[in-house]
Amino acid sequence: MPIIGKASPEDTGLHPIHYKWAYDLYQQGIRNTWFPHEIALKEDLIDFENMTDDEQHAVKYIMSFFNPAELVVNRSIALGLYRYIKAPEAHLFLARWMFEEANHCVAFEYVLESFPFDREDVYSQHVNVKEMKAKEEYVAKYTKKMTDETLDIETIEGKKDFIRNLVATNLVMEGIWFYSGFMVILSFRQRNILRNFGSLVDWVLRDESLHLKFGMQLIHTVLEETPELLSEEFANEIQDLIVEGVRIETEYNKALFPNGILGLNAEYVNEYVKYVADRRLQEIGLAKYYNAQNPAKWMSTATDVLELVNFFEMQNTKYEADSHSGGNK
């Protein structure tokens, strides 16, 4: 059974499992279950009120992107990926993935409820701020054929559109843009502020590591099953797609940090973005483009998807113990 194609009655039987990696990721997702409101944010509110205007702007700006972005990913899965994938074990993971994106949306809503944000202002930024609007337009360009139209998934061009969408939403949006925002939030915890918000982001990051692992494995599987896609021309196109995503993110980060904050500015974050982009290129079999160094060594494990998946697998029992005892991470 090929992993993508037109649906058939044979696609409804889970066994025999053809893609064990998809079922294993689903099982790990189940073990990773967490709930946002188990993480108290009261202390973080005190931290936030004592932060500078530029620091508060950075937190608000990131929230303005993250909240709607989680629902964009969910829409892409529900209306795009799901209907073109044949393997039932992959459908299980996609269903789990959608739950996790919904949980992330609730998590960021929880942050909005806890911090003194103007909700209408936060929501309006992703369409009113040109750097955020550029992100939306980039993703929409690649998801439109998947969500609003119908691919001829049996053709080479249809499979190319499938890969293009997956790279834009999974590797670029979740694997580069999200990681850029995670790094900024977690940098505050490095300064011993917003520690519980940082813990919440840890759990979101753990979920995203599984999403990335699935997306990259799916790309590799489609390429293995359709060797006609393995052309230099298509590889260059995918590289250009990722490079364009990086360009958009670097402009976004300049607006995120118009003046810089203690220990962090746009140049620093953008060097990290380029480093992460090089890792993503390598993880799908392409060469580095930027040859950037990681300025945030403390994020090194989080940047490597395979290391992060293994790391969080070892952390599951700690979360279960904390949540059962009523403690906070």
Domain ranges of the chain: 40-325
Q: Residues 69-78, buried b or exposed e (16+ Cβ, 10 A)?
A: bbebbbebbb
HSE-CB at 143 with a 13 A cutoff on CA atoms is 25
| Residue of 291, 314, 288 whose CA lies nearest to 31 | 314
The correct CATH number of 40-325 out of 3.40.50.2300, 1.10.3720.10, 1.10.3730.10, 1.10.620.20 is: 1.10.620.20
Q: Answer whether 0.85 is exceeded by the pTM.
A: yes
Amino acid found at 46: I
Question: Within 10 A of 232 (CB to CB), how many other CB atoms are there?
Answer: 7
pLDDT less than 50: residues of the chain: 305-329
pLDDT tens digits, one per residue of 202-222:
999 999 999 999 999 999 999
What pLDDT does 311 receive?
40
pLDDT in tens, 245-282: 999 999 999 999 988 887 889 999 999 999 999 999 99
Closest by CA to 89, choosing from 30, 154, 12, 31, is 12
How far apart CA 237 and CA 170 sit, in angstroms, is: 16
- In degrees and rounded to multiples of 5, residue 63 shows phi and psi of -65, -35
pLDDT of residue 304: 60
Catalytic annotation, residues: 110
Contacts 24+ apart (CB under 8 A), 137-142: 138/168, 138/172, 138/244, 138/245, 138/248, 139/72, 139/76, 139/168, 139/169, 139/173, 141/168, 142/167, 142/168, 142/169, 142/241
Sign of CA dihedral 117, 61, 257, 101: positive
